Structure 1
Amino acid sequence: MTAVSPELLRRFDVPGPRYTSYPTADRFVEAFGLEDYVLALQQRRRGAAFRALPLSLYVHVPFCASLCYYCACNKIITRHHDKADTYLRYLQREIDLHTAHCGTGQVVSQLHLGGGTPTFLSDEGLRALMAMLKRSFTLAPGGEYSIEVDPRTVTPERLAVLAELGFNRLSFGVQDFDAEVQKAVHRIQPANQVFALVEAARALGFESVNVDLIYGLPRQTPESFDRTLAQVAALRPDRIALYAYAHLPERFKPQRRIAAAELPGASAKLAMLSRSLDAFMGAGYVYVGMDHFALPGDALAVAKRQGRLHRNFQGYSTQPDCDLIGLGVSAIGRVGATYSQNAKTLDEYYDLLDQGRLPVVRGLALTRDDLVRRAAIMALMCQGELLFEPMEQAWLIDFRHYFAAEIGQLEGMAAQGLVRMRPDGIEVTASGWFFVRGIAMVFDRYLQADRNRARFSRII
């Protein structure tokens, strides 16, 4: 890959959003509440989207049996599995309240179970959850049905149960195979355990197996991470998600157990990212964008080639721009031109459902400007280019006039080799992909206005 100079790194390795949405979730407000969300559900039911566009579902399962020090997810550490039974009863209430507003039987083409650790649920718990979803929604044949799996909590027999329940995609949390790194983040899982599970998943016929990796963890070096890259390339999952560790101990209490002195510096992190790109592309993977790789035949790589790639709260997706209903504590949804988020604590989540209310506590109704800028940001993040004419036709704007200030900023990035300014649009260069979040930030009206970036992780 194209080398990145230390000067570029100093200038552009700044805190910034990952843009799984625009506006980003930190812009959600409590002024957007239950009534706004119910109105969005009712408008969906009355509109053409109800008949034409399938839904996406996200279910958040917050429980984990042990704490990973790097984790920034909303989770509850417990070994009391009876807590999951209570949680499932409340999930049923939330599902019932949704169907009361938007009807039963809506077609779902994408389902994702995240957390936490969804496989904290027992086989019986997973069966109960899938049964409630199938009673209220219609899972489309050929849809994408995925679940996040902690390799420490499953066996090949448990994977067989997941296949039986209809899941066709798995995501294994690996992070790093190095024993010292695993010890530093309190997540011990031998490589042979992961290899055996991936082999079992293939034998069971899962359509896609993803492996999550994190670079920038304590005790990682470019050389140690090279060994993990080689092992993952040998494992050959269908997809690889490669995330930069975001060290924000002031926001995420578990990260205070990580010794800051053991974290690799920015240049080492850049080396890990660059060598990851070389290793995976050299192994035949398609660089889908920012944090995802896929084998050429995987649906994600096909969507990239065909210009159908999208980005949502779970990252890159093959699904079209469809509504997403988030279920469970802290879950985020998107219905129409709105975003919404559930209560972040179990007590508040349960209390609202006990009152017979959907547990939405904040969100955002997007303005026309938000929608225009979202389209621009997602084009850069997903396709690596932003074409003027399609934007002008879709939004009835004069692009160069509407984004005159942004074009001025991008010309400075063009001089640094991060983008190419073409007569018909803007293209991200090979070097620019390292900083694509920074390029997208140019179009973020909120971020440009307040410059308060301390709440975000650094780009590299």
Structure 2
Amino acid sequence: MTFTMQQNIPVVHWDKALIEKYDCRGPRYTSYPTATEFNDQYTVSDYEQALRKVKEQPFEPLSVYLHIPFCHDICYYCACNKIVTRKQEVADTYLNYLEKEMRLIHDVLGRKRNINQLHLGGGTPTFLNPAQMTRLIHMLSTYFQLSESDDREYSIEIDPRTVTPDTLALLKGLGFNRISLGVQDFSPQVQQAINRVNPVDMVEGLMVAARNYGYSSINFDLIYGLPYQTATSLKETIESVIALSPDRIAFYNYAHLPERFTSQRAIDRMTLPDADEKLLMLNTISDLFSDAGYVYIGMDHFVKPEDPMAQAQRLGRLQRNFQGYSIARSTNMLGLGVSSISSVSDTFAQNCKEVTAYYEALDNNVLPIERGVKTSADDKRRAYVIMHLISNLQLSFADWEKTFGDRFSDYFAEELRELDPMQQDALVEINAGNIKVLANGRSMLRNICMVFDIYHNPSKQLYSKVI
């Protein structure tokens, strides 16, 4: 793998031998420790204690993730926690329980806390009809303080098949300023194979409406490695995407795990692209988006150079949490709804994954926590390293030492030795004062971070492939 510079933008050119060397399974590091380390010894009392620590910082803003699990139709590739149904009334019941959860959290926090980052994910958040969506935002405003700042990040994941321009107008009026469209691929054959048909003209109409309504950021979610995809068909999809000019692009690798996700059993394994074809796809993705002026910030994300995310990375201020890359400066994140994960004080806590268990806990006026973990002093030291490398592509030893008091080269002596092969492969550059991720390393960020992950077990099959 080599890289060149086009318009001062690093362009990765993938090398088969290097991919084979580093292609393994690993976490995406939206937290550290990762969710695989959560356990059921973590209790509701532990979570309430963490919330009470937040209460002692009354002016600190919150980040909120809210999970809507429902979908009208099943997408065969999907690995999300979802409930497929055509019964719209199930959302009314779910909102009733979400309000119970908000009230219980508000009772512990004792006041309406400001939300500077809000993200609705799923499932399909736009499963909610206009009245239900309006009710949800009213509920949030009852128990929290919704931000009116231009710096807020209020985003929602959208299935293009479920909305109209009028829906986008409503969402903008409710305070959302960022949207993420689940495009996946524009090839009709691929769309049919994954049971998700959203033609280019459908997405184009939504893009025009979103721009007219003044959304500050539009993201496209795309996937490579889908059935019947080829480098040639993917090139056509990318050219259509570039013509639509979204601000951000997340390009994920499809992980075919039918033994874990039953919907994927509808996909014929023989229709999936082989390793050589996926290599061509990777180079196609990198070349076309870089030629179009997008900045590859790392892993599977491309953004326009003027995007706040690219600016935050240049300043060393980009963050990463369960919502992905973020520019919001929130120390604590609340997860609301079934399966959501909270990062509060020194703990991570996950809600019940099954909706029946979620409802049962709230019927008993108990926060629906199923598992979690308290972070140790060592966890915090490693999390600092991992989050700086994966977000900002560099780490200052002096800054780490100022924060934790230890000598970095002593504390991580073994890890620095493990990075030697990566330095030889030009993934990282290490000197006496810092670690810098080089252009080729941006696609290997998960591999680099795994060096500092004391829990990582290469034999675990719980993760997706890193490339």
Q: Structure 1's 145 and 431: CA in aligned 2 closer, same or farther, altered over 3 A?
A: same
**Residues of 1 paired with 2:342 and 2:12: CA distance?**
38
Q: 2:39 aligns with which of 29, 48, 52?
A: 29
Give TM-score, length-normalised by structure 2.
0.95
Deviating more after overlay: 274-283 vs 331-340: 274-283
The match for 1:420 is 429
Offset at 1:2? 4.1
The match for 2:260 is 251
Show structure 2 runs of 5+ residues with no match. Answer: 1-10
**Residues of 2 paired with 1:256 and 1:422: CA distance?**
48
The match for 2:13 is 3
Output the aligned Cα RMSD: 1.2
The match for 1:343 is 352
Offset at 1:318? 0.5
The match for 2:30 is 20
The match for 1:442 is 451
Q: 1:159 is aligned with what amino acid?
A: L
**Residues of 2 paired with 1:274 and 1:443: CA distance?**
28
The match for 2:338 is 329
Q: 2:402 aligns with which of 393, 404, 416?
A: 393
The match for 2:5 is none
The match for 1:111 is 118
Deviation track 1:268-317 (CA, whole Å, cap 9, x = no partner) reads 32332232122112112222221222222222122122211000111100
Q: How does 1:261-410 map to 2 (within 5 A)?
A: 261-410=270-419
The match for 1:58 is 65
The match for 2:178 is 169
- 1:152 is the counterpart of 2:158: no
Q: Tell me the percent identity.
A: 48
The match for 1:199 is 208
Q: 2:129 aligns with which of 122, 132, 150?
A: 122
- 1:102 is the counterpart of 2:109: yes
- Equivalenced residue count is 455
Q: 1:355 is aligned with what amino acid?
A: N
Q: 1:239 is aligned with what amino acid?
A: R
For the 8 Å contact 1:176–1:182, the answer to whether it is kept is yes
Deviant stretches of 4+, over 6 Å: none
The match for 2:7 is none
Offset at 1:321? 4.6
Offset at 1:128? 0.4
Q: 2:139 aligns with which of 124, 128, 132?
A: 132
Q: Structure 1's 15 and 144: CA in aligned 2 closer, same or farther, altered over 3 A?
A: same
Offset at 1:28? 0.4
**Residues of 2 paired with 1:67 and 1:370: CA distance?**
38
Tell me the SS of whatever aligns to 1:431. helix
Q: 2:91 aligns with which of 73, 80, 84?
A: 84
**Residues of 1 paired with 2:277 and 2:427: CA distance?**
20
For the 8 Å contact 2:298–2:443, the answer to whether it is kept is no
Deviation track 1:197-226 (CA, whole Å, cap 9, x = no partner) reads 010010011111111111111111111111
Tell me the SS of whatever aligns to 1:302. helix
For the 8 Å contact 2:13–2:286, the answer to whether it is kept is no
Offset at 1:117? 0.5
